Amino acid sequence: MITAIVIALALCAVVLFYMAVRNRRKQAVQSLRPVDLAAFHTLLDRDDELFIKEKLPRSKFVRLKRHRIRVTVRYVARIASNASTVLHESESARTSPTPEVAFTAEQVMDLAAQIRVQCLVAMFKLSLEYAMPSLQLTPAMLVPTYQSFRENVRRLGDLQTQNAIPLANAI
């Protein structure tokens, strides 16, 4: 059992390293992509998972759960990508002469950094869950944090006269 856990952790580390390198390469060509938070929230719903677990045989449930995890990983990657883009875009707004714009930009940057960390943790949890489908390690805090992030980005876009961050509608 300990060997399986060590192998799973090593596999997770390799996956995280690969994704970090891949994300670095993509940063230059990064663009925002919308996230359907209702669908993402449904994927994270453990009551739904328990219902499916009761209705399906174990082998089908494991296959379905792994598929759901793969889809969830794509959502988490999209959220991380959007947060990274907004983080870079809001850097110039942070030095704005308008105090309210600068303060909101600072809040947006803080939330973006928090989301990036939460996404790394979520990827780790999802990797473990993929390796051991009996686990339930939901990245539940990601949805409310991302909603707050969206609202702050929208407020920052409204505050700026040039609307240098038209990102709120895209995320």
pLDDT computed for residue 28 by the predictor = 42
**Is a pLDDT exceeding 70 seen at residue 25?**
no
- The band of 76, judged by pLDDT with boundaries at 50, 70 and 90, is very high
**Angstrom distances, CA of residue 76 to CA of 11, 56, 116, 119, 152:** 18, 26, 9, 6, 19
**Is a pLDDT exceeding 50 seen at residue 29?**
no
Q: What is the pTM of this model?
A: 0.74
Mean pLDDT score of the chain: 82
How does pLDDT run across 123-134, given as a tens digit for each residue?
988 888 888 888
Q: Which has the minimum average pLDDT: 1-15, 28-42, 43-57?
A: 28-42
